[in-house]
Structure 1
Amino acid sequence: MVFSEYIATRKKIDFKIQNVTKTEDSITLTVKNKRNNSMPVSLYTLNNDSIISKTWLENISGSKTFTLPRNGANKLALNYENSIPENNLRDNWKSLKGFFFNNKPLQLRVFQDIEDPHYNQVFFMPIVEFNNIYDGLTLGVRAYNKTVLRKLFNYRIEPQYAIKSKTFTGGAAVFKTHYFENRNLYSVNYGVTGSYKSYAEDLFVSKIQPSISFSFRDDSDFRSNKRESLSFRYLDINRDQDQDPTNVLTDTEPNYSVFNARYTNSNNNLIKYSSWYSDFQVAKNFSKLAFNYEYRRLFESNRQLNIRFYTGAFIKNSLPTSSNYFSFALDRPSDYLFDYSYLGRSEASGIFSQQYIEAEGGFKSKLDTPFANQWMSTFNASTTLWNYVLLYGDIGLVKNKHRDPHFVYDSGIRINLVTDYFEIYLPLYSNLGWEIGQENYDQKIRFKFTLDPQALLGLFRRRWF
């Protein structure tokens, strides 16, 4: 019956040791069956790594208390020899000496590995990164506990030294995840992250972000890539004040906080990709709503069609009209939430100012109305001309306070080397006229590229077939 229950159902095996009471010659403990099944489990008494006794425990429904002779044992373990395929071995240990964190000895390892449930493992990985042109090359180490198999509690600490800015930078994160079965809500994740880095020459920003997210999928179709998520986060941003009045990132309030809620619905496949989200933000001096929809189709002839629609509006905006730091951006968002991987976010000229990130308006040309402090709606599209060469076009309406809505458009050639990761945009015609025949055309070319290893990993998470 036990065998058939395990094979014929999705029930997992998971036991836990609770409430241990010890004397010189006996041990009383409670074993909890964390799953609704009738599986047995073996209980071991150990002296260091030597087995003293092994006892099979049966008929544990919920929790059950047992008493057994100590015989010099200093440690208890369930399923020590992995006799049953247990789902989680991390809470199968109890030390009979010291404090709770001595249940398992500490083990330090270089690079991520398969988890050894006999130890509390901490992994170390050297870091060599180039996050922005202000910090330059950063060297450091990442200490973390994440293993190949997923864990419920994860942390990472990343102290780094930036060679160019000659400053210690880095970040840290702590997250707890709860997984659910037999329902569309399959995980709840909450925690806090923090970071410190340069955002301009000799200017630094710290970001603290507590968050919680709820993830959904179709419980009846595990092959589907369709996902839904509802996330809430609170961002506390503290920046060094920039005294340059020509910098779009200059704002009268260098320190601010924003509450952000977002619902996302996506179906991430190579052949057919679709995703949309609705976003709400509220801060001291503004609140806004935004909606974004993206669709991508790859045909058998290798022709590609990309469609994107974005609209956003301020519900409240008491910010001075002289600053566009929190405004909707047509072609280059100011990224006041510090979510995007800008290599030179404060650059007004040069190649790093030409970095393109598809967000908000999604335009490629730098037009005379680059921001909207009231509302904005845009439509972006591109389709294949030949192989990885595409034709793109953007249209939109930009509305600023005390001004009529302004119609904007641009078009050009998109060289799609690796979709979403390395692309080149060559403007042709826009509100500015024939850009290809204008002076300094090389400064109008836009690039999409990333050096973020975590972002590059997304390339391999797609469903390719």
Structure 2
Amino acid sequence: MHDYFETWKFKHPQPEDMRKTMEESSGKNLSWLFDDLIQTTNHIDYKIMSVRLMKAGSLVKVKNVGQVNGPITLNVFKDSILIETVWVEPGVEEIKIKSNRSQFTRLVIDDSKNIPEVNRGNNTWTNKFLFPKIEPLKFEFLIGDNETKRTNVFWTPSIGGNLYDGLLIGAAFHNMGIPFKPFQYFVAPQFSFGRKNIAGMSEFSYTFLPKQNVRISRIGLSLKNFGSDDSTGSFLTIAPYWSLKLGGRGNAKPTSHSILIQTIFSRLNKEAILTEQIGAFGEYIYSVNLPDHIFNFKLRGEYMQTKSNSDNVARFLASSTYKYRFLKNKSERWLELRANFGNIFLYNNSTGVGNNYRMSMSGARGNQDLFMEEYNLGRYETSGIWSQQRMSNFGNFSSTSDFGSSSFWMASTNLFTQIPHIPKIIGVFADFGAFYDGATVHSMYNAGIGIRLSGILSISFPFVQSSNMGTDIFTNYQNKIRFTLKLNPVNKGILNQILN
């Protein structure tokens, strides 16, 4: 820095002038710093692969599993005392240290944490016979930082419930601390007081950070087991998935492209009937996020097959959502306009206790949630308050009307706007749609007031609806109130998105 100051004092240097001065003073190529680390989102990640005894000292093999080929330091410890430090130039993978294995207890890459590494869990090698790369376990309540010298396990009590399991009490264990680890898990076993049995959910995933074309790639496995009716009924789902966030690692952009591919095996035991299904879906999402404008476009294809008979469905779904911030001061308010389309081109669905393959203008009930994507309080209910929980898909009408069910096609438009001068959780909605029942195209509409809480809970109170949805909307009005609930922490890494 002294050379840089003396050369450019009272002048107007450019960024490239600093680079030139630093490279001339150090005699080294610093492209890893100026081209990779500063100008991109490429990440640094080195890991210790192995340690081999030599006649004099030891040979340590390291591997660059990141995207920046920069220098590192290797620190050698005897218990808590630093006995040796080796500077490792970019590209060097084998490091000779003076100490032999009887003289040190631990090797650490960058123990002083001068390097902005994304994963320090692979930086430590301990001198022990079994599992030298695994640090001692440390249990910690709720969440914390992933320490380099510990294998952190975070835990918290968990409580939940649904109509079939009754009260659910257990504990959740995970490693989703800061900084994130490529391998992540979330395990939440619970005891069902209603069924007197074990229930719960879990997810395991591994995240890759490729250098080109893909920003984030994640493979994972989601598991769920909950009740379905009485003490003997339950469902089990096993859902492997692969998610991608496309794009390079240059400057951040307001646009994003993401892809999700998921398969599922589900086993439903309900009313003493066993139903097994296999299926898959692919989903593409394009998003634009600007200060006053948000746009989201989603394409999705689904297939589901019942193993015991010929029941199956294949369908195509599309939706686009535009949000505009029409008030930009402290009392900001948003207007949302959404369009939906769905088409079923393969359909065989016999009557029974299994899932309903038809589309619903009011969004999927629990038994239409073929891929078990949302936490449902009464998944297999067709009447009563728990049947009024719907998903924000298909026609997405803010209604609980059974009118508008189709095994062919449907299209709809949804409008929601927040109201100025009252709490922003309150807004008005209006829905318009049409569907084909195999003989006639029907149109329908409704409107009312809605409450939305942080994208987790929404409650809709319709006050106007078309006559084909019911002649008297206020008769048994409590049955017309629709709600959505998004409390599924594991599927597609939702908890991971919250914590990281």
What does 1:178-189 align with in structure 2 at a 5 Å threshold?
178-181=208-211, 183-189=212-218
Q: Is the 8 A contact 1:327 1:371 kept in 2?
A: yes
Q: Is the 8 A contact 1:34 1:62 kept in 2?
A: no
Distance 1:297 1:204 in 2: 43
Distance 1:34 1:317, change over 3 A: closer
- RMSD value, Cα: 3.4
What does 1:5-20 align with in structure 2 at a 5 Å threshold?
8-11=34-37, 13-20=44-51
Q: Secondary structure of 2:120's match?
A: coil
Further displaced range: 170-179 or 93-102: 93-102
Instruction: Please tell me whether residue 424 in structure 1 is matched to residue 424 in structure 2.
Output: no
Give the structure 2 partner of residue 380 of structure 1.
Answer: 414
Give the structure 2 partner of residue 330 of structure 1.
Answer: 361
What does 1:257-336 align with in structure 2 at a 5 Å threshold?
257-267=278-288, 271-284=292-305, 285-300=312-327, 304-320=334-350, 325-333=356-364, 334-336=368-370
TM-score (norm 1): 0.84
Q: Is the 8 A contact 1:427 1:435 kept in 2?
A: no
Give the structure 2 partner of residue 392 of structure 1.
Answer: 429
Selected match of 2:380 from 346, 350, 358 = 346
Q: Is the 8 A contact 1:173 1:194 kept in 2?
A: yes
Q: Which has the higher helix share?
A: 2
User: Residue type matched to 2:387 in 1?
Assistant: S
Distance 1:215 1:417, change over 3 A: closer
Selected match of 1:407 from 442, 449, 452 = 442
User: Residue type matched to 2:475 in 1?
Assistant: E
Q: Is the 8 A contact 1:272 1:296 kept in 2?
A: yes
Distance 2:248 2:69 in 1: 28
Distance 1:166 1:392 in 2: 42
Q: What's the CA shift for 1:312?
A: 1.5
Q: Secondary structure of 1:432's match?
A: helix
Q: Is the 8 A contact 1:324 1:373 kept in 2?
A: no
Q: What's the CA shift for 1:236?
A: 0.4
What does 1:183-202 align with in structure 2 at a 5 Å threshold?
183-202=212-231
Q: Is the 8 A contact 2:279 2:303 kept in 1?
A: yes
Q: Is the 8 A contact 1:108 1:121 kept in 2?
A: yes
What does 1:155-304 align with in structure 2 at a 5 Å threshold?
155-181=185-211, 183-202=212-231, 203-217=233-247, 219-222=249-252, 224=254, 226-242=255-271, 254-267=275-288, 271-284=292-305, 285-300=312-327, 304=334
Distance 2:66 2:386 in 1: 54
Q: Is the 8 A contact 2:259 2:284 kept in 1?
A: yes
CA distances 1:378-432 after superposition (whole Å, capped 9, x unpaired):
22224466656644333333223xx313313121212335364333322322133
Q: Is the 8 A contact 1:384 1:390 kept in 2?
A: yes
Distance 1:77 1:5 in 2: 25
TM-score (norm 2): 0.78
Q: Secondary structure of 1:254's match?
A: strand
Structure 1 residue runs of 5 or longer lacking an equivalent are 244-251
Distance 1:117 1:369, change over 3 A: same
Q: Is the 8 A contact 1:415 1:425 kept in 2?
A: yes
Distance 2:406 2:75 in 1: 67
User: Residue type matched to 2:442 in 1?
Assistant: F
Distance 1:275 1:433, change over 3 A: closer
What does 1:117-156 align with in structure 2 at a 5 Å threshold?
117-130=148-161, 132-156=162-186
Q: Is the 8 A contact 2:488 2:494 kept in 1?
A: no
Give the structure 1 partner of residue 18 of structure 2.
Answer: none
Further displaced range: 22-31 or 118-127: 22-31
Q: Is the 8 A contact 2:359 2:394 kept in 1?
A: yes
Distance 1:35 1:338 in 2: 35
Distance 2:204 2:494 in 1: 22
What does 1:41-56 align with in structure 2 at a 5 Å threshold?
41-51=72-82, 53-56=83-86
Distance 2:487 2:107 in 1: 47
Fraction of identical pairs, as percent: 20
Give the structure 1 partner of residue 12 of structure 2.
Answer: none
Distance 2:238 2:494 in 1: 24
Further displaced range: 428-437 or 258-267: 428-437
Distance 1:458 1:241, change over 3 A: closer
Distance 2:389 2:77 in 1: 60
Further displaced range: 14-23 or 142-151: 14-23
User: Residue type matched to 1:165 in 2?
Assistant: R
